[in-house]
Amino acid sequence: MKTVIVGCGRVGAVLASSFDQAGHEVIILDLTSRAFDRLPSTFKGTALRGDGTDEDILRRAGAEDADVFIAMTEGDNRNVMAAQLAQEALGAKRVIAKINDPLRADAYADLGIAALCRTNLMADAVHAYLDMPVSGRKGILEPTGSHPGGEHHEIVATSTNTVSAGSNVAREASGTVPSGSQAVPAREV
């Protein structure tokens, strides 16, 4: 499985290392090369310094046609942009973006991006720990809608097929993804 991770913070580094250990191909990007110090010395994947919201840089990093694309930088908006770029222009099959603002997370789940919302995630974890009723919000909001640009192919001259493939998968995902009780409960996080 080809995995692209943008942002080598704590979470990004943990994910990169676990995917790598599980035998997957991993490409991780960060703006500073010092961030890669977080990766274990055994890491066999590719670590590249560069802006993950820049299409050219992502292409040069070999981020096209990723099976999984995870945007994990500190900025919600950078994650949103990287994720949409991956989905619309780079043919990523599954896209996850960390979006800590619950409202933005909801909005982008509606637009076809799996939104990982730390705010909801941690609030629920605390509620669960204290045996208080959990809000029912999920840590990862599954994409419920197709992307606004989903039907259009004009954006990438060279890879029209990957654009439509990416958006088809996004639409498929909205139909097949487990919902409600089947999704990761806060307790297990």
Q: Which is nearer to another protein, 78 or 94 (CB)?
A: 78
CB of 161 to another protein, least distance (A): 13
Sequence-distant contacts of 123-126: CB under 8 A, at least 24 apart: 124/186, 124/189, 125/186, 125/187, 125/189
Region from 14-22, 53-61, 121-129, 169-177 binding another protein, contact rule CB under 8 A: 53-61
Residues 152-171 that bind another protein (CB under 8 A): 152, 154-155, 157-158
The contact pattern for another protein, residues 8-47, with x = CB under 8 A and - = no contact, is ----------------------------------------
Given a contact cutoff of 8 angstroms between Cβ atoms, the answer to whether 175 and 138 are in contact is no
Residues 70-129 that bind another protein (CB under 8 A): 75-78, 80-81, 84-85, 88-89, 101-104, 106-108, 110-111
- Binding another protein (rule: CB under 8 A), the pick from 8, 16, 20, 53 is 53
- Binding another protein (rule: CB under 8 A), the pick from 10, 74, 148, 184 is 148
Pick the closest to residue 47 from 64, 65, 25 (CA basis).
25
CB of 149 to another protein, least distance (A): 4
Q: Which is nearer to another protein, 17 or 79 (CB)?
A: 79
Applying CB under 8 A, which residues contact another protein?
53-56, 75-78, 80-81, 84-85, 88-89, 101-104, 106-108, 110-111, 147-149, 152, 154-155, 157-158
